Amino acid sequence: MPEDDRADREGVGTRSEWEAAFAVLAPVIDLVTPMAVRVAASLRLADLMTEGPVPVAELARRSGTDADALGRLLRHLVCKGIFTEPEHGAFAVNEPAALLAASHPSGMRRRLDLDGFGGRMDLAFTGLAYTVRTGEPAWETVFGIPLWRYLAENEEIGESFDAMMASGDDYVADAVRGYDWSSVRHVVDVGGGTGAFLAGVLGTDPGMRGTLVDLPETVDRARRHLADKGLERRCAVVAGSFFDPLPPGGDVYVLRRVVHDWGDEDAVRILRRCAEAATRGRTIGSDGKSGRVLVIETPSGSAGNPATLAEMDLRMLVFCGGRERATDGDDPADPGDYAPIIARAGLDLTGVHRTPLGHVVLDCVPGAGTGS
């Protein structure tokens, strides 16, 4: 078919052709329902119906919404199996809708809230075409400034981000148990957020000290969290960037869920800063060895799930130019895609540890000539 004829015919077909195509693509192209669910979560509708069916006018009053528009939203969700309409114009929570309650342990409401970091992550994908055309993160085109600056300048979203990163006590505990801390006297948590992981590490030994490094807006929240845990006397909190020189003297420098936020060049820079700090001003650590660098990640492609890895890899690119790196080869001691950046940063890999919940702990020491 000539090119002009093909262009003229594009989008012009029979109804049966459209229906056949829609039947194939429908499960992956619907944007109406995903956004409707997020709006319901953002409005806390499940929490406003805890005592049974609520007339839509009353529900609109409670949620500060337009009754007609709210009713249309809920009827669509009812048709999709979320919420029920036991009597005309009155809506109630069913089992799927209960997952959106703020009290539900899954934390789904927070992750879907369009006013929080979870929802903003989803909205960033409206700029996906920009990312694919340029290779650059879409976040700035959607929200006006890069991700990390956006978090710094929007306190509520920054707090929402910190809460998401610290969520899951079992997951934090699993990461802590992924390394033997018995010979460590001083641990430095680089990009440590509000200190949930560091608090867990310090809980393994009352004689251990810690230092947390993160951006100024985050360390203020970290100080409060560590004080609530009774750790303020054992923990220094330092405001700074991990692209700048880090506090020296630690036995172990930890990068937990940090490296995947960055492309290869920036990841190498961060790892080099850790290697430099681990050797600065001394030749050995308190355990008789050079300071160590631990990279702790949660590789989404583990357990034979390449689809999850592919999705998370795209997410990291859209948000901040990061990259998921696979570590799920046949050899459990293989660092996979982390090997090149570890070597380029001047680190020698000494061990790979895997945890029951899927963390991978890459245990590294600075190579010869590292440091200042």
Pairing of strands 252-256, 292-297: parallel
From residue 208, alpha-carbon distances to 49, 196, 200, 250 in Å are 48, 16, 11, 11
Closest CA to 240 of 217, 261, 273, 216: 216
Is there a catalytic annotation at residue 359? no
270 vs 245: CA distance, rounded Å: 10
- Out of 104, 260, 353, 359, which one is annotated catalytic? 260
Sorted by sequence, the CB contacts under 8 Å of residue 335 that are 6+ apart come out as 327, 342, 349, 352, 360, 362
Closest C-alpha among 68, 67, 83 to residue 33: 83
Strand partners, 124: none
Which has the closest alpha carbon to 254: 297, 311, 296?
A: 296
Gyration radius of the chain over CA positions: 24
Give the ranges where 92-244 is alpha helix by DSSP (H).
Answer: 95-98, 108-112, 117-123, 128-134, 139-143, 147-153, 155-166, 169-176, 196-202, 216-228
Active site residues per annotation: 260
